[in-house]
Amino acid sequence: MTQSSPSAAFARLDGRIALVTGSGQGIGAAIACVFAAAGAKVMVATRTASHGEKTVQGIREAGGEAALMATDIGELENVNRVVQGAVDRWGGVDIMVHNAASFLGGPVETYSEDDLETVLAVNLKACFRLSAACIPHFRKRGGGRLLFTSSVTGPRVAMPGTSYYAASKSGITGFIRTAALELAGDRITVNAVEPGYIRTAAMELLADEEGMAQMARYIPLGYIGAPDDIAYAMLFLAGDQARYITGQTLCIDGGSTLPESPVFVEELEGIKELDGSS
């Protein structure tokens, strides 16, 4: 068994080539920026070019290296094109993070066939397509990382009107476990992160400041997370220190899925007030 030097830099990605989907804003942009700051060359893949340009500009201004491919990752031909784009530009790919997602939804009994297909194509089918496109390139480089942004919605909790999304995210759990077994012999690890409430542009469309403050009341840590909270978890899973982790999901939700009932969070607040803690 080999041991790393205690002084080794934590989660450096120097010389690695990373593809990050849905990286024009929010969690995906944070992942791209954190990876670039850790030394990776990052292909920013996002549907809206103007958003992706901001991510690339920010990375370059910080001294990192990045390129943009504006694409809809829900289409098969676009998946192959974006992976090949990273290979053509830098000679290979080492890390793939599928973060792009569709949040379309509606009641189960009146579901939309078109919306269902869009959500499954972007959120779940793209997991298969991106992985299949990356695996041959990983093998050439002696290994790789397949990483996915899942959600607590579906695998752990439920929310009315989100069945399409929840089903797609639950599917990711089954996907990564099977893929991890199949690819372990190639030194390819497969893992996912399950975010809870994270403050993003999409989140701000769902709730104003008062609404988010109400949500935060039911999070044991007391606040809504930031995109960087997810990005640094992804950085760990992408780095050498996570080489023995595969087929796993890491829940990052401030403890929001821990209580059986919001009542217990309110009781926790009462305890804090009694002992003066904050």
Q: Give the full edge-to-edge strand order of the sheet including 17-21.
A: 65-70, 41-46, 17-21, 95-98, 144-149, 188-195, 248-252
CB atoms within 10 A of CB 132: 13
Cβ contacts of 146 within 8 Å, gap of 6 or more: 96, 130, 131, 134, 176, 179, 183, 188, 189, 190, 191
* Active-site annotation holds for 197: no
Phi, psi (degrees; rounded to nearest 5) at 270: -65, -40
- Distance (Å, whole) CA 216 – CA 79: 37
* Catalytic, out of 111, 164, 165, 232: 165
Is residue 22 classed as helix, strand or coil in its secondary structure? Answer: coil
CB atoms within 10 A of CB 217: 11
| Residue 229 backbone dihedrals phi, psi, to 5 degrees | -60, -35
Of 108, 227, 229, the residue nearest 166 (C-alpha):
108
Helices and strands in the chain: count of H runs, count of E runs: 10, 7
Are the beta carbons of 221 and 254 closer than 8 angstroms?
yes
Question: Which residues are tagged catalytic?
Answer: 165
